[in-house]
Amino acid sequence: MYNRRPVRSSRSSAGSVRSTGTGRTLRAGGTLLAVAALLVSACSSGSSSTAKSTTDTALGALPRATPSTLSPFYGQKLTWRTCGVPGFQCATMKAPLDYAKPTSGDIRLAVARKKATGPGKRLGSLLVNPGGPGGSAVGYLQQYAGIGYPAEVRAHYDMVAVDPRGVARSEPVECLTGREMDAYTQTDFTPDDKREKGELVDAYKKFAEGCGQRSPELLRHVSTVEAARDMDILRAVLGDRKLTYVGASYGTFLGATYAGLYPDRVGRLVLDGALDPSLSARKLNEDQTAGFETAFQSFAKDCVTQSDCPLGGAGTSPDRVGKNLSAFFARLDRAPIPAGDADGRKLGESLATTGVIAAMYDESAWPQLREALSSAMKERDGAGLLALSDGYYERDADGRYANLMFANSAVNCLDLPAAFSTPDQVEGALPAFEKASPVFGEGLAWASLNCAYWPVKPTGEPHRIEAKGAAPIVVVGTTRDPATPYPWARSLASQLSSATLLTYVGDGHTAYGRGSDCIDSAINRYLLQGTPPARGKRCS
């Protein structure tokens, strides 16, 4: 499931947050394989296609008293050092590898901060997370939040980030080599016959086996619940009585989980681009499929008004635009085209689809997408779409991949049972997915099979999060968000006992820091003064 917004230009104004929610609900590990992967990410469940779509089970709070076995972790002192970007400090924090056996071993987590710039009263620490799962919070802080959040917020808060366990600098999960990932991302996720279905299943199995071989013990301890417990240790060692937090995309599930476990320690929480933890995996994937279709319809309506739209001219219906794109994908499935890649990769259907989906996260990427599609469709040059796909996968020019997709699958497949267990179950669900999105439905349905072969059994189930007794929480939803559909924000806000829903009427993934003064001023006021937006507040 795609819950991650690729890092690229956004419509945010100078001095505002560049909310790059690594936004995928991330649930997979490759291409569309990554799409649905993201999707099934942190919240759904259901071990089969017939699983109940919602649950009445609520996440229970942990005891208020800290167990004595965790005291060494809560009492540790961080040693800060200058690192990387001027003005930032880094440290290493220890947490139990296994919270059920805290004395059996620890895991080391990378932490970074930029101290409050002043003037005025310091309000404590503001922890940020860009989503994923698998997005580097430390990288996000150093590249964006620590310099791009509103000056008044940075003046009063120490800006802080921790890479969740298994992610980036925090003992990263490893699965495949760069060349193996190249092969994985080019796997055909719209199989046409028995042979291609077998190849897709083999790709999922090889990915899972690679993770199991390279990170056997870590795979059992990268759940969202464990990452949320790590956040409480960090809160304590930073000297904060309560947690102040801004989470985007999957980061909303992480923040909501924290609130459910520690409602009495909730300070000011902003959950932007919300996930619904009560949904089954299949329902999550279907919803996100529909979300990408909604975003594509917006792109299509805009595209036909532009002189460089390769999918149709003025008066062309969005449905026809979609059919034209599907026909292009079908041609690539039969005959991939050159992409100017030094490693010899060509642009096939899988990489092209990932490139298009990547551009759905932010409407500022639509011109880039039109140009890339024009080059591929008219000049048989796939370099532009390949670049969009590589950006999504975090593949560099030397063929190296960040561990984003590895961590993404590791967290998602541990948090929830797989949406589907067999290819036959996927085939039975194809009509529903294709109804949700004629363009992307088939690929997203097959992508939902990725956790079926995972080497570690899931430890999570879908659940409601109520966080009874928590201080006011702000949930933000965007009406045409592709990766975290707006109904999820409404649902999470209704579950959380103290939540207020703030709505952005518009396109793109997440809302804070993306150009709406209405959204930004409401969130800034909440962070600085503790006053949540009025109930029912809508911005555009």
Q: Just list the catalytic residues.
A: 249, 481, 509
Residue whose entry in the numeric block shows the structure tokens 């930032």: 88
Q: How far apart are CA 161 and CA 100, in angstroms?
A: 25
The token duo for 298 is 């917006």
Angle between helices 349-359 and 383-393 (to 10 degrees): 70
Residue whose entry in the numeric block shows the structure tokens 């200058």: 82
Q: How far apart are CA 198 and CA 228, in angstroms?
A: 38
Dihedrals φ, ψ of 27, to 5°?
-145, 0
CA distances 272 to 38, 161, 491, Å, are: 16, 16, 13
Q: In 406-487, which ranges are E strands?
A: 473-480
Q: In 117-210, which ranges are E strands?
A: 124-129, 157-162
Among the listed residues 445, 411, 396, the one whose alpha carbon sits nearest the alpha carbon of residue 33: 445
DSSP assigned state of 112: E
The token duo for 113 is 């901060």
CA distances 210 to 53, 168, 185, 187, 207, Å, are: 31, 17, 15, 16, 5
H-run or E-run covering 404: helix 404-415
Q: How far apart are CA 99 and CA 186, in angstroms?
A: 38
The token duo for 338 is 């050159």
HSE, CB side, 13 Å, CA atoms: give it for residue 355: 26
Dihedrals φ, ψ of 228, to 5°?
-65, -35
Residue 247, beta-bridge partner list: 129, 271
Q: Is 335 exposed, middle or buried (0-12, 13-18, 19+ CB in 10 A)?
A: exposed
Angle between helices 281-303 and 349-359 (to 10 degrees): 80
Phi-psi sector, 274: left (phi>0), alpha (psi -120 to 50), beta: beta
